[in-house]
Amino acid sequence: MRRRTFLAGSAAALLATGAESNAQQAQDATGEVNALATLRVQAGKETEVEAILRDSQSATLANDKGCLRYEWYRASTPQTYILLQRWSDQAAAHDHLNAPHVVNAVEKLLPLVLENPQAVRLTKL
């Protein structure tokens, strides 16, 4: 159950539905999905988390069709990581969330995070 809640934070921004999302999608002429996610982790677990994020980043870039950008960053705020991601379309973003390497990374991250990730979908100007 916690895995589902954890993924929901990321999925909400990538796969939002409803009038607001449709308007946002209509404004993005490229059809690409851009999102930013923030992940806060337990103090002292940064080294372990960074290894998981690096593995997830490498696997995503190597295996996920439609991935145009997938980069994790350490924020200036302690215990905080930022993900910048861009997908060719919504289907590619959806497929990523169900990919084995993502499921595996989430399972490893669950005991290390302070809260569910916060995510926002971005629309290119």
Predicted local confidence at residue 91, as pLDDT? 96
Could you tell me the CA-to-CA distances from 55 to 45, 48, 49, 104 in Å, in that order?
Answer: 16, 11, 10, 10
Element (H, E) at 114: none
Alpha-carbon span 75 to 73, nearest angstrom: 6
What are residue 99's phi and psi, to 5 degrees? -65, 145
9 has a pLDDT exceeding 80? no
Predicted local confidence at residue 125, as pLDDT? 83
List, for residues 37-75, the tens digit of each pLDDT value: 999 999 999 999 999 999 999 999 999 999 999 999 999
All domains in the chain, ordered by first residue: 2-122 (3.30.70.100)
Total-model pTM: 0.82
